[in-house]
Amino acid sequence: MVSDGDSAPDFTAPLANGDLGETFALSERLDEAPLVLAFFPGAFSSVCTGEMNTFQERLADFHDAGARIYGISVDSPFALNAFREDNSLEFDFISDANHDIVDAYGATMGFEELGIDEVAQRAVFVVDGDGDITYSWTSEDPGVEPDYDEIEEAARNAA
């Protein structure tokens, strides 16, 4: 798992921003930093929906901190666009349907009881303009949400 002080693994993946066909390349978005990469297990699940709605409620605060939020899950861009629309979420999502990003960041977990081997672990990474991780948080319990004040402070410090 990557942690504070590590270089953020670069990746290119489909962007779910209401349209289809765009991609997100981390190395090409560092000028938007700090970037808040919010990994979550799955669109439309109760805790994940609550977490993404909390980021939405605090979006202006994160923008004031100079930060851009991106949600990341292994859901398809189609599902993520539907999730954005159904929840009126105004920030973009990144589809890691091939599991390359969760593997690179070491942020994977499974729901064996449901027959699901690998989804994104609930985790948050703040990446600065140099491509370094300045904040990392992960949860072994998918029912635990991050400390949003702590993330916002980390974003302010990375600006």
Delineate the domains of the chain, giving CATH numbers in brackets.
Answer: 31-158 (3.40.30.10)
Specify the pLDDT at position 112.
Answer: 58
* C-alpha Rg value of the chain to the nearest Å: 14
pTM of the complete model: 0.94
Specify the pLDDT at position 1.
Answer: 85
Instruction: Give yes or no for a contact between 10 and 25, defined as CB atoms under 8 angstroms apart.
Output: yes
Instruction: Give yes or no for a contact between 7 and 127, defined as CB atoms under 8 angstroms apart.
Output: no
pLDDT digit string, tens, across residues 126-144 = 999 999 999 999 998 888 9
Specify the pLDDT at position 113.
Answer: 56
Quickly count: other Cβ atoms within 10 Å of residue 61's Cβ.
Answer: 15
Dig out the tokens for 15 from the structure.
Answer: 């962007």
CA-CA distance, 104 to 98, in Å (whole number)?
12
Specify the pLDDT at position 110.
Answer: 53
Specify the pLDDT at position 117.
Answer: 65
Low-confidence ranges of the chain (pLDDT < 70): 109-117
Dig out the tokens for 13 from the structure.
Answer: 């993946």
